[in-house]
Structure 1
Amino acid sequence: MDRTLTILEFHKIIDRLINKAMTPMGKELAATILPSFDLEEVVYRQKETHEGLEVIRLKGGLSFDGVHDIRGFIKRAKIGGILAPEQLRQISSTLMAARKLKKLILQLNEELSLPILRTLVEPIIELFEIEKKINESINEYNEVVDLASTELKMIRNQIRLIESRVKEKLESILRNPHYQKMLQDPIITIRNGRYVIPVKQEYRGVFGGMIHDQSASGATLFIEPDSVVQLNNQLREYQLKEVKEIEKILRQLTDLIRMEADSIAEMVKHLGRLDVIQAKGELAKEMKATLPKLNRQGYIRLKKARHPLINPEEVVPIDVHLGQEFHVLIITGPNTGGKTVTLKTIGLLTLMAMAGFHIPADEESEVAVFSSIFADIGDEQSIEQNLSTFSSHLKNIIEILKKVDTNSLILLDELGAGTDPTEGAALAIAILEKIRLLQARVVATTHYSELKAYAYNHQGVVNASVEFDVKTLKPTYRLLIGVPGRSNAFAIAKRLGLEEEIIQFAKEQLSEEDQQVELMIHSLEWNQKIAEKERLEAERLRKQTQEMKKEVEEKLALLEQNRFKILEEAKQEAEKIIRKATREADEIIRELRKLIQEKRVDVKEHELIAMKKRLNESVPDLEKPKPISKKQNKKIEVGDEVKVLSLGQKGNVIEQVSENEFIVQIGIIKMKINRQDLEVSEEKKRSNPEAIMTGVKRTKEYVKPELDLRGKTVDEAMIEIDRYLADALLAGYKQVSIIHGKGTGVLRSGVQDFLKRHKLTKSIRMGQYGEGGSGVTVVELKA
C-alpha cells in the first residue's frame, strides 16, 4: 500500500492538508491520515469534512487563536515539575480558546446541525477557575504580579522601599561637588544584583565599601560605598524571599493543572481533531471539491473529475465509470495524451475519498471503498538491481497478482511494454484475463492494438481512448469510453509535411484487416463526438426547461399569493364597512323601539327583528368560497323545487324571465334569481305550474301542524313563527300549535305577545288537556 500511495502522490495531498492546519496538534494528526478500507469509517470521515466545510461556508470557519501545544507542560506537571509563568499563561490561553470554541460550536449546531463537531466539544470541561487564577497571578508579560499573594505584595513593598533608600543615598553622593571629580559618570548602576557607582581608579579608597566590577580598561571601578552596604544586604535578603514566594505561587498553580491534567490532555486532542476537520474543509473549498457517494460494490462513477495536483487552469476534467457494466477498462492512445493522468486521477481520487477528503469532481460522483488498491505506473527501472523496465514492471505485477481479490482496484500503465511487441501483447492479455476472472476492477493503458480486439471479444472489458486533435497535433486529454485509440501516425506525418507518396506506400504495408480496424475506430470516434454533442445539447435543453418550469411555478405561486392577499384585504374592508352599517342599523332599531314604547308608533316587533337578521346575514363569509354545486348546471323548468344558495332557502320556480333568470316563490315572497344561484331539488318537482303561478296553497305534507320552539330565544322564536305562519297558511291550515314548553314562562310570554300582534293571527289560546297544556299555544289563522 505504501508504494501505491507514493506512486499516486497521496503524500502531496497530506502536505497540503498540513499547511491548512493551524495548530501543532492538528498538523501532527494530519500527517498520520491514511485511507481507510472500512465503509462506515470512511462515511464518518466524509461527514467530518462536510461539517468543516459547512462551518467555513456559512460562518467563515473556527478561530484557533490562543491555542498552544501544551502537551509537554501537562506531562511536566504530572511528574511533579513546576511550570514557568509563560507555560502557565499558554495553558490559560488554551483553556480560554477551548471554552470559546465549545460555546461557538454548540451555538452553530442549533443552526446547522453539526453532530460530529458537537460530539467533539461536549466532553471539553470548562476550567474557568483555573484559567481565572492563572490570569490573576501572571500578567501578559509573563510576570507574577504583586496580587498573586499577600506575602508577595508585602515583600515587594519592602524591596521598593529599600531600593528607594539605596538610590537616595547614592544620589546624594552623585550630587555632592566634592565627589563629582572622582566619579567616571554621575549614574547609579547594578553589578551582581547590588547598586553601585562608577569611580575612577585613583579614588578607589575614598568611598570604602566593596568593588564589584571594573571596566575593560581598568580605569573605572564599580564600587558599593560603605553607606549602602547594609541596605543592599537587606535588599538582597528580600529579593531571595521574593524568589521563594514566586516559586511557591507557581507550584500552587501547577498543582491546579496537575489535578486536571488528564482532562486538559484530552481537551488538547479534541482541539487537534477540530483543527484537522477544519483543514479538510479548507482544502475541499480550495479544490472546489464535493462530497462523493460511497459504496462497497466496486462502482466508480466520476463526473468532471480533476487531478488535484495539476494547475486548475490547465487541468482537463474527465468523465469515467467502472465496475457496473464492465470491470476492465483498457485505455489506448498516443504518448503524452493523458492516459497516465487518467490513471492517477482515478487512483488518487479514490484514495482521497477513502481517507475522508472530498474529491475535485462534480456532485453525484461515486467512489467505491476497496479492500486494496494497487498501482504500477511510470518507469520503475532499477540500476542497482540491474532490472530492465520490463522486468521492473513485471516484478510489481507479480506481487500485485499475489494479493489481488474481488474487491481490489488495479491501475496498470503501459501493460506489457518494454519487450517484443507480440510477446508483450500476449502477456498483457493473459494478465488482464487473470484479473478479469477474479472480477477485480482494473484500468490499464497500452499501445498494443491486440488489446483493442481483446476488449471487443470479452465480456466485462471495454475500450477507451484519449482524444487527439490531428489539426493541432495536440491531445485534448478528453477520455472517450467505448472508443479505442488510433495511432494517428499517418495523420501526424502528413501534417508535419512528409511526402504523400511515402505515406501512401506505408499504408500499403498494412494488412487489410488493420486498415479496416483503423476505419472502424475513426467511425466510432466520429459517432462518439456526434453523440456527445447531442447529449450536451439535450442536457442544456433539460436544464433550460427546468429553469423555465421553476420560473413559471414561482410566478404562479406569487400570483396566487397576491390574489389571496387582495381578496383578503377586500373581504376585510367589506366586513369593516358592513359592521359599521350594522352598528348604525342597531342604533336605528334601538331608537325605533324607544319610539314604540314612548309614542306607540305602529311598527311590528317581528319586522324589526327580520330587518336586523337581513343585516347580519349580509356580512361576508371570510372563508374560501365553496365550489358551486354540479346541480346548478341541470335544466331548470317552471314548477321545479329549487334551493336559493345565497339565502339557504327552498322555493318553487313560477316563471322563467330569461335564459338565466327565474321568478322563484319563497313562502309568500317572490324573487328574481339568477340560474347560478339556484340548485334543483332531486326530491320533488311541481306538476302544476299554473297552480303555483296563481298562488295555490302548499300541500300539507310540506308543513307540519305544529312548530317546536323549545330551546330558542324569544328573538329566534319570533323569526321562526313569522316564517312558519306564512308556510302554514299557504298549506291550508286553519289552526296550528306553537310548542314553547313550560319552563320559566319567559319564552311563552314572548311568543304569545308576538302572536297577538301578528297580522296572520286570528286568535290564540292555551293548549287544553291532551294538546300539551300550558306548554303549547294554539293559534287560529286568518282565512
Structure 2
Amino acid sequence: MNERVLKTLEFDKIKELLTGYAGSSLGKEEASKLYPSNELPEAQRWQEETDEARQVLRLKGQIPMGGIFDIRPHVKRANIGGILTAFECLDVASTMRAGKILKQFVADIEEEELALPILRERTEQIVILNELERNIKSCIDDHGHVMDGASEKLRSIRSKIRSHENSVRDRLEQYTKSKSKMLSDAIVTIRNDRYVLPVKQEYRGSFGGIVHDQSSSGATLFIEPQSVVESNNKLQAAKVEEKQEMERILQELSAQIAEDQGFILQNTEVLQKIDFLAAKAKFSKEMDAAKPAMNDQGYIKMREARHPLIDPDEVVPNDVEIGKEYTSIVITGPNTGGKTVTLKMIGLCTLMAQSGLQVPALDGCELAVFDDVFADIGDEQSIEQSLSTFSSHMTNIVEILKGVHEKTLVLFDELGAGTDPQEGAGLAMAILDEVISRRARVIATTHYPELKAYGFNREGVMNASVEFDVKTLRPTYRLLLGVPGRSNAFEISRRLGLEEKVINQAKSLTGQDSQSVENMIASLEEARKKADEDYEQAEEILKESYQLKKELEEKWRQFEQRKEKLLEKAEQKAEKEVKKARKEAEEIIDKLQNMKNSAEIKEHELIDAKKQLSEANVNLTGNDQKQAVEQEDTKELEPGDEVKVISLNQQGSIVEKISEKEYQVQLGMMKVKAKRENLVFIKRPEPPKEEKPTTSVKGRTYHVKTELDLRGKRYEDALQELEKYVDNALLAGYPRVSIIHGKGTGALRKGVQKFAERHPSITDQRLGGMSEGGSGVTVLELG
C-alpha cells in the first residue's frame, strides 16, 4: 500500500486516535503498527478479533487491562545478569498479575455461555507465575520499598539501624536541652547522612567533633560532636550492610525473573495483542461502527456511512454501493458540496476495514480487500519542482496508471482539472476509460459538464452527485446515486437578485443541448427525491407492520397458553369432583345399608340420605353428547345461547345478532364476530324457575334457598337466623349451603365459622371461591 496514499486519506490520524484507546504502552506500540492487509483471510480474521472484543465490551462494559507495563527491557537486563530495581521488579509482578486476571476474566465469560474462541486461544497461552509474583510481592511493597520481612538478615540489620539511630538522637537531644543557647536552633538535623547539631560560630570550641557543613552566612556550623562520632560510624556501617542485603535480595528476584524469561515474554506479547484488540473495540464503540463483511470481489456497500474524522454531530451519512452492477462512479456537483469528503470517506473506510477496524456505518455493510488503493486528491503541486497544479496531478495519475489492475481501488478528485475545459474533459474521459478497461474500481469527482452524460454512454458506470439546496443556497452533502449534478447558476443568480432579463439573455446564449441535459437532470433529481420519500414511508409502514405482527403473535401465544392452562385446570377439577362424588356415594350407600339393617329407621333420615345420593352425581358431558349438540347447527340463535366457534375451537355465548348470517360472540374476555356457519349451537339457558317447596317427612313444607344473606344484621340476630336456616336446610336435604356475611371487619365471618365448628350436622366449611364471592362467603357442607 502506497504510504503517500495512506497520508492523503488521513489513515495516520486514525492510527493516532486508535492509540489513545490503548491501556498500556504495549498496546499503543501495537496500534502504531496498524497497516492494511491485502489478504482476505487475514482481514477477515482481524475483523473477527475486533468483533469478539466488541462483544465483551457490550456484555461487560470493559476488558481488564490495568497494571500492564513494558517489561521487556527489564527481562532482557535480568537475563544478562543485571540487578533490577525494586520498581522494575514490581512492574514484572504487576504485569504477571494482569495476565492472570485477564485469563480468569475470559474463562468466567465463557462459563456464561458466550463463546470467545479468539480470546480463549490467546489467554490459554498465558502462563500463571504465582510463585514469582508472590516472591516479589513478599519482598517489595507497593511503594517500591524492600520490606523488613524480605529476609531475616535484613530484619536484623534494620533493627540494629533503629537502635543506633535512637542512641545518636538521644545523645544529641541532651545537647539541645543543656546547650540550647549555643545552638542556632534546638533541633537535630542530618548532613552527609550523619546526625549533627546547628552550632553558632562563636561556640565551635565548646563541642569538638567534626564540622560537616555551614550555613551560607557562616554564622551556623553543622557539627557532629565527638561523643556521637562512634555511634554515627556504627549507624553508617549498618546502613551499608542494609544496602548490600537489599542488593542481594533484588539480585535473587532478578535471577528468578531471568529463569522465567520465556514465559514472561510470552505473557507480555499476549497482553500486548489483547490490549490492541481492546483498543480497536473501544474505538469502534466510540464511532458507533459496524463489522463489515469482507470480500475479494471488489464489492463495496455501506448504508449511512460517515467519515470517521468528522464531528458526529455535523457529518452527513451517505449510502454507497459499487462493484456489482457498476464498477465506476462519476460524482458531479458544486465546489464545497462534499464530493472530496465522500471520496476520502470511501477510501478511508476501505483502509480501516482491511486493517481490522470496524467502519462507521449501519450493520450489514460490506467492503472489499484490494491489493492497492490509489488516490489523486487535492492540490499536490510540488513547489520544489515548480510544477503546476495540472502537471502535479498528471504526474501522480501516470504513476497510478502503472499499477492499476482489477484488484485496485482508484480515487480521482477533480479529474482533468487545471487545464483547458474541453481538453481536460476529454482527458478525464480517456483516463476513466483506461482504468475501467482494466476492471479496477474507480470513483471520480469532476465539475466538467461533459462528464454528466458519461454514465449514460458507458456500461458499468454510475452517475452521482452531491445535493445542493437552491432555497438555502447551501449544499446538503447528501450523495445521490444515479443522478448527475446540474448547474444551479441561473437559479442561484435569481435568488441573489440578478435581473430576470439578464438571466433570460444568458439562457438564450446557452446551447439547446445543454438546457435539455439540465432539464433531464432536474427531472431525475425530482424523481429521486420522490422515490426516497416513498421508500422511507414504505420502510416506516413495514416496521409498523412487523411490530404489529409481533404483538399479534405474542397475544395469540398468550391466548393459547391461557387456553391450555384453563383446559388442564378444568380436567383436574373434573377429576377431583368425580373422586369426591364417588367417595360421597360410597358413604351414603354405607349409611343406607346401616339404616336398612337397623330396626329403627326414621323416615326423614331415609329421605335425607336419598337426597344426598342424588346430589353426589357428577354431570360431565361426554363426546357422544358433544357430537349430538354440534349437529344442531341449523337452530335459530338468540342472545345468551351457548355456542362453539369452530375455527377457534372455543365456546362462548351469543351477545348480539348483527345480521341474518353474522353474530357477535363473547369468548372469555374477548368479543369476536362470527358467521353462522362457523357456529354450533350447544344449549340455551333455562328460564329461572320458582323455588319448589321441599316436603319433610311430616308433610310440612320449607321454602329454603341455598344461600343466606346476613349482611347488615346485628351479630346476635345473625347467629340466631343462621341456626334456624341450617335446621331448615338440613330438613330440605341440601348437601351444602352458602352463608353471605361480607368482608367488613371479619367479626361476622368468624362467628359463622365458630358456629359451624360446634354444629354436629356441619361436616366441613370453606371460604367461597372466586366465582362464589371469595372471602365474603362461607360454604357449609351439611351431613
TM-score bracket relative to the smaller structure: 0.7 to 0.9
The offset of 1:333, in angstroms, is 1.2
Q: Identify the residue that residue 388 of structure 2 maps to in structure 1.
A: 388
The CA distance in 2 between the partners of 1:150 and 1:579, in whole Å, is 85
Distance in 2 (CA, whole Å) between partners of 1:450 and 1:68 is 60
Structure 1 residue 487, shift from structure 2 partner? 1.4
**1:511 Cα offset (Å):** 2.3
Residue 679 of structure 1 is matched in structure 2 by none
> 351-360 or 167-176: which moved more?
167-176
Alpha-carbon spacing, 1:523–1:593, altered in 2? closer, same or farther (3 Å): same
CA deviation after TM superposition for structure 1 residue 418, in Å: 0.9
Q: Distance in 2 between matches of 1:431 and 1:315?
A: 31
Shift of residue 590 of structure 1? Answer: 8.7
Superposed CA deviations along residues 248-287 of structure 1, whole A, max 9, x for unmatched, are 1111111111111221122122222222212212211211
Name the CA distance, whole Å, in 2 between partners of 1:547 and 1:321.
29
Specify the code of the residue in structure 1 equivalent to 2:279.
A
Kindly indicate whether residue 236 of structure 2 is the aligned counterpart of residue 236 of structure 1. yes
Work out the CA distance in 2 between the residues paired with 1:367 and 1:289.
Answer: 14
Is residue 148 of structure 1 aligned with residue 150 of structure 2?
A: yes
Distance 1:86 1:582 in 2: 88
Match of 2:172 among 161, 170, 173: 170
Contact 1:333-1:339 within 8 A present in 2 as well? yes
Instruction: Name the counterpart of 1:361.
Output: 361
CA distance in 1, matches of 2:274, 2:247: 35
Question: Which moves more between the two structures, 208-217 or 353-362?
Answer: 208-217
Quickly say closer, same or farther: Cα 1:593–1:161, change in 2 above 3 A. farther
In 1, Cα distance between equivalents of 2:291 and 2:377: 27
Name the aligned partner's letter for residue 563 of structure 2: R
1:597–1:216: structure 2 CA closer, same or farther, 3 Å change rule? farther
1:85 aligns with 2:86: yes
Match in the other structure for 2:477: 477
Residue in 1 that maps onto 2:315: 315
Matched letter for residue 285 of structure 2: K
* Residue in 1 that maps onto 2:115: 113
| Counterpart residue identity of residue 143, structure 2 | Y
Within a 5 Å distance, the mapping from 1:456-535 to structure 2 comes to: 456-535=456-535
Residues 165 and 43 (structure 1), Cα distance of their counterparts in 2 relative to 1, 3 Å cut: same
Matched with 1:56 is 57
The residue number in structure 2 matching 1:437 is: 437
Q: CA RMSD in A?
A: 3.2
Structure 2 counterpart of 1:65: 66
Contact 1:333 1:485 in 2 (8 A): yes
Letter in 1 for 2:496: L
- 8 Å CA contact 2:18–2:31 kept in 1: the answer is yes
Amino acid in structure 2 at the alignment position of 1:568: E
Whether contact under 8 Å (1:578, 1:619) holds in the other structure is no
How many positions carry a matched residue from both structures?
623
For 1:302 and 1:425, the matched residues in 2 are separated by: 30
CA offsets, 1:61-83, max 9 Å, x none? Answer: 12323222322222221121111
Q: Could you tell me how far apart the structure 2 residues matched to 1:484 and 1:559 are?
A: 56
- CA distance in structure 1 between the partners assigned to 2:414 and 2:325 by the alignment: 24
Give runs of aligned pairs for residues 603-752 of structure 1, distance below 5 A: none
SS of equivalent residue, structure 1 residue 181? helix
Alpha-carbon shift at residue 156 of structure 1 (Å): 1.3
3-state SS of paired residue (2:266): helix
Using the alignment, how far apart are the partners of 2:229 and 2:549 within structure 1? Answer: 97
| CA apart distance, 1:594 | 11
What displacement does 1:380 show?
1.2
- Distance 1:443-1:590 versus aligned 2 partners, 3 A rule: farther
- Please say if residues 212 and 224 of structure 1, whose CA atoms lie closer than 8 Å, have aligned partners that are also in contact: yes
Q: What's 2:748 paired with?
A: none
Q: 1:505 Cα shift?
A: 1.8
CA distance in 2, matches of 1:181, 1:531: 101
Cα contact 1:213–1:222 (8 A) shared by 2: yes
Aligned mates of 1:414, 1:22 — CA distance in 2: 42
- 1:7 corresponds to which residue? 8
- Secondary structure at 2:182 match in 1: coil
- In structure 2, what is the equivalent of residue 161 of structure 1? 163
Give how far 1:598 is off: 13
Range 242-251 or range 466-475, more displaced: 466-475
Deviations 1:477-496 (A, max 9, x none): 22221121111222222222
Paired amino acid for 2:166: S
The match for 2:137 among 135, 145, 149 is 135
Measure how far apart 1:580 and its partner are: 4.5
Q: Is the 8 A contact 1:469 1:475 kept in 2?
A: yes
Deviation string, structure 1 residues 408-428 (Cα, Å, up to 9, x no partner): 111111111111111111111
Report the Cα distance in structure 1 between the residues aligned to 2:213 and 2:590, rounded to whole angstroms. Answer: 118
* 1:592 CA drift (Å): 9.5
Deviations 1:454-507 (A, max 9, x none): 321121112111122222221122222112111122222222222222222222
Secondary structure of the structure 1 residue equivalent to 2:190: strand
Over residues 695-726 of structure 1, what are the superposed CA-to-partner deviations in whole Å (9 max), with x where a residue is unaligned?
xxxxxxxxxxxxxxxxxxxxxxxxxxxxxxxx
Q: Which moved more, 1:578-587 or 1:377-386?
A: 578-587
Greater CA radius of gyration, 1 or 2?
A: 1
* Deviation sequence 1:539-593 (CA, Å, 0-9, x none): 1211111111111111111222222233333333444444455566677789999
**In 1, distance between residues paired with 2:357 and 2:462?**
29
Give the Å deviation of 1:16.
Answer: 1.0
2:541 maps to amino acid: L
CA contact (8 A) 2:54 2:285 kept: yes
State the AA in 2 paired with 1:110. Answer: E
Q: Does 1:220 align with 2:220?
A: yes
Q: CA deviation at 1:317?
A: 1.2
TM-score (norm. length: structure 2)? 0.74
* Distance (whole Å) between structure 2 residues aligned to residue 500 and residue 205 of structure 1: 111
Structure 2: runs of 5+ lacking an equivalent: 600-615, 634-679, 683-783
Query: Does the 8 A contact of 1:7 with 1:375 survive in 2?
Result: yes
Q: What amino acid is aligned across from residue 121 of structure 1 in structure 2? A: T
Residues 617 and 333 (structure 1), Cα distance of their counterparts in 2 relative to 1, 3 Å cut: same
SS in 2 for 1:320: strand
Q: Match for 2:154: what amino acid?
A: L
Change beyond 3 A, Cα 1:573–1:477? same
Matched, 1:47 2:48: yes
Residue 676 of structure 2: aligned partner: none
Structure 2: distance between partners of 1:307 and 1:542: 29
How far apart, in 1, do the equivalents of 2:522 and 2:189 lie? 95
Alignment identity in percent?
A: 51
1:675–1:478 distance in 2 versus 1, CA, 3 Å: closer
Query: Whole-Å Cα distance in 2 between the matches of residues 324 and 271 of structure 1?
Result: 41
State the 1:369 CA deviation: 1.3
